[in-house]
Amino acid sequence: MAISEKDVKHVAWLARLAITDAEVQKFAQQLDVILEHAGKIAELDTENIPPTSHAIPLRNVLREDTLGACLTPEAALSNAPKKEDQAFVVPRIV
Amino acid sequence: MELLYTMKIHELHDKLVAKEISAKELTESVFSRIDEVEGRVGSYLTLTREGAFEQAAMVDKKIAAGKKIGPLAGIPTAIKDVMCTEGTRTTCASKILENYVPIYTSTAVQNLLDEGIVMTGKTNMDEFAMGSSTENSRFFPTRNPWDLERVPGGSSGGSAAAVAADEAIFSLGSDTGGSIRQPAALCGIVGMKPTYGLVSRYGLVAFASSLDQIGPFTKDVRDCAIVLNYLVGHDSLDSTSVKIDKPDYTKALSDDLKGVRIGVPKELMVEGIDPKVRETVENALAVFAKNGAIVAETSLPNIDYALSAYYIIAPAEASSNLARFDGVRYGYRAPDAEDIMDMYMRTRAEGFGDEVKRRIMLGTYALSAGYYEAYYGQAQKVRTLIIRDFNKAFEEFDVLVSPTSPTVAFKIGERIDNPLQMYLSDICTIPVNLAGIPAISVPCGTVDGLPVGLHIMGKALGEEMLLRVAYSFEQNFGWNEKPAL
């Protein structure tokens, strides 16, 4: 097994996904098959191979720190599920 | 007279300029077609009929005033529902964004709007572009216009089906592992994924940021070149946007292939490729040779590992990108949460579908402590090996060709319970995204009445050579079958 049901529960917690016991079982089986296939990459000798994060080489993109157009509070809040004055409202945090 | 909705951009532009037709008449024609077939095909999540007629009226006013119009002015266009459109809901076919109305427009779409396109609507897709069949849409599956029992491919299945069914003259899709090319192949149209960074990703809802790229679906290669002319351009709002002197891509459309070297990677013509699809592609190769090209076998030795590396890298990036959907600032929020953690957990559990959850968990796992090096680190190194394979092949060849999809369109439901089998649909297209290079799919015939796509891959920024080879093939192959709808 590449991934256990315990791992699936832990990963779902890390990813902030509520998950039922039936789903834990289903996803564990499916992810195991996928990870077994993906695990094939371990066969390759990559000791002296550098990793690639982007296929096209990237450099930092810099610009002058000048004032530009920005969103109004109304626009920024226009899709908020819940809002009050100029703020997003969320349930109790502590 | 030929029905307007069946025609191509370049034909319609000539008619608009000659005042033979108006943009309003063209828009009416396309919407009459939508009214006729949309109930059976299901290409669109949102139709923007009212806005479309307003846009058409503006183009007609311009023509009446004797002003010059560009090639895309007045052309009915469908947009994949993964690109933000100000004031028009953008759902990514997800419950979590069901009612999301963007406050800005993506650069790619804005570039086309500035040219005067008529936006017909937003098209169906696999949720967050994760899938190869459009069955992962949280709303409804799109059907293949060639056979309504079959999938149109994915993830841009709605955009592909819309063009194949004449519900739009052209459309935009996005391609992270084949999501433009595979549905183009399965629907019998032209689809291109440009070089990474050539088209701005600003306003494209991110799936895997190092792989995502926007591109066009068109009815022929000339239309593809025309659309590319207006999609390409540096954008300071996308830090991965490349700066180049933009060519006129239509100038690359030449029938002559004398001296062009075409390589056929042997690994993409064997295992897992349906024998009838392979035979169709082999017949296509003969067309190239007849037109002066040199066709020879080549090898991409590490390509067998591309799918595995992709299914680590893409979910890893997705798990990070999709962390933003937390029910706080926009999108769905689970009701009656006890506290903020309960709100996060239930919002995401209720808002995302199974495939999205699978990929988020897969990516989170591959990035988690203890597994990072073995999975994500190793996959990034494999990515280097695949890029090197391509670079080596391109020392000898100008383009590489393969089938776009290992099979023709499969039946709805056939692969939905087997994620790995679904992933294998993209075995020929995924290496291209890992390497950041461009590729195009052009129709090359049918198997059992269903279209087959020819996949042509080019060097980074080699779009002109791709278009030349694709155009020459199209001109000489002379395929113009249409689905009977």
Query: Which residues of chain B make contact with A44, given a CB cutoff of 8 A?
Result: 302, 305, 378, 381-382, 385
Predicted pLDDT of residue B225: 98
Beta-bridge partners for B440:
B192, B456
CB contact residues (below 8 A), chain A span 11-70, against chain B:
11-12, 14-19, 27, 30-31, 33-35, 37-44, 46, 49-56, 58, 61, 63
Do you know the residue count of chain B?
A: 485
Helix (H, G, I), strand (E, B) or coil at B123: strand
Half-sphere exposure of B394 (CA within 13 A, CB side): 20
Q: Which of B144, B145, B146 is nearest to B132 (CA)?
A: B144
Q: Which residues of chain B have pLDDT under 50?
A: none
**Is the separation of the CB atoms in B208 and B309 below 8 Å?**
no
C-alpha torsion angle, residues B281, B282, B287, B291 (rounded to 10): 120
Instruction: With a threshold of 0.90, tell me whether the complex ipTM lies above it.
Output: yes
d(CA B67, CA B61): 9
Which chain B residue has its CA at the smallest distance from A16's CA? B345
Tens digits of residue pLDDT in B256-284 = 999 999 999 999 998 789 999 999 999 99
pLDDT reading at A94 higher than 90: no
In the numeric block, which tokens belong to residue B5?
A: 């909705």
pLDDT above 70: percentage of residues in chain B: 100
How far apart (Å, rounded) are the C-alpha atoms in residues B455 and B431? 12
Name the DSSP letter for residue B374.
I
State which amino acid sits at residue B227: V
- Residue B478: left (phi > 0), alpha (psi -120 to 50), or beta? left
| Tokens standing for residue B290 | 């007849």
Pairwise CA distance, residues B59 & B73, whole Å: 6
Task: Tell me the per-residue pLDDT of B289-324, one tens digit each, with 9 for 90 and over.
Answer: 998 999 999 999 999 999 999 999 999 999 999 999
- The CA distances from residue B378 to A30, B134, B364, in Å, are 22, 30, 16
Structure-model confidence comparison of residues A69 and A78, the more confident one? A78
Lookup: tokens for B148: 């309504």
Polymer length of chain A:
94
Say how far apart CA B353 and CA B126 lie, in whole Å: 10
Neighbours of B411 (CB within 10 A): 12
| Residue ranges with strand state E in B148-293 | 170-175, 190-193, 213-218, 261-265
Q: Which of B67, B68, B70, B78 is nearest to B30 (CA)?
A: B78
pTM beyond 0.90: the answer is: yes
Q: At what angle do helices B306-321 and A21-38 cross, to 10 degrees?
A: 140
The alpha-helical segments, DSSP class H, found in B132-254 are 157-164, 181-187, 221-231
Most distant CA atoms of chain A, gap in Å:
58
**β-strand pairing of B118-123 with B76-80:** parallel
Q: Give me the residue from B196, B327, B344 closest to A56, CB to CB.
A: B196
Whole-angstrom CA distances from B458 to B45, B95, B137, B318 are 33, 37, 31, 26
Nearest to B391 by CA among B210, B296, B212, B263: B263
Rounded to the nearest angstrom, the minimum Cα separation between A13 and chain B is: 8
Residue A75 structure tokens:
């626009």
CB contact under 8 A, A46 and B342: no
For residue A16, the chain B residues in CB contact (below 8 A) are: 323, 326, 341, 344-345, 348
Q: Give me the residues paired with residue B216 across strands.
A: B172
DSSP-assigned letter for residue A43:
G
d(CA B21, CA B313): 49
Q: What is the pLDDT of residue B2?
A: 77
Distance CA A26, CA B287 (A): 48
CB–CB contact A41 B379 (8 Å): yes
Which has the closest alpha carbon to B484: B152, B7, B169, B147? B147
Pairing of strands B76-80, B261-265: unpaired
Asked if B322 contacts B128 with a C-beta cutoff of 8 angstroms, the reply is yes
CB contact under 8 A, B420 and A91: no
Q: Tokens 């000339």 identify what position?
A: B222
In this complex, do A44 and B312 lie within 8 Å of one another by their Cβ atoms?
A: no
Distance from CA of A73 to the nearest CA of B (A): 12
In terms of Cα–Cα distance, which of B175, B227, B250, B153 is closest to B464?
Answer: B250
* Residues A56, B197: C-beta atoms closer than 8 Å: yes
Q: Over the stretch A14-70, which tens digit does the pLDDT of each residue have? A: 999 999 999 999 999 999 999 999 999 999 999 999 999 888 877 788 889 999 888
Which chain B residues touch A86 with a CB distance below 8 Å? none
CB contact under 8 A, A92 and B339: yes
Q: How far apart are CA A23 and CA B360, in angstroms?
A: 14
Q: How far is A91 from chain B (nearest CA, A)?
A: 5
Element (H, E) at B181: helix B181-187
B336: closest CA of chain A, how far (Å): 9
Of B22, B29, B80, B425, which one is the catalytic site residue? B80
Q: How far apart are CA B87 and CA B105, in angstroms?
A: 9
Phi, then psi, of B399 in degrees rounded to 5: -140, 160
Please, are residues B17 and B74 in contact by the beta-carbon 8 Å criterion? Answer: no
Please give the pLDDT value at position B12. Answer: 98
Give the tokens for residue B30: 């396309």
Phi, psi for residue B79 in degrees, rounded to 5: -120, 130
Annotation marks residue B80 as catalytic:
yes
Q: Are B187 and B166 in contact (CB under 8 A)?
A: no
Question: Please, what is the average pLDDT of chain B?
Answer: 97
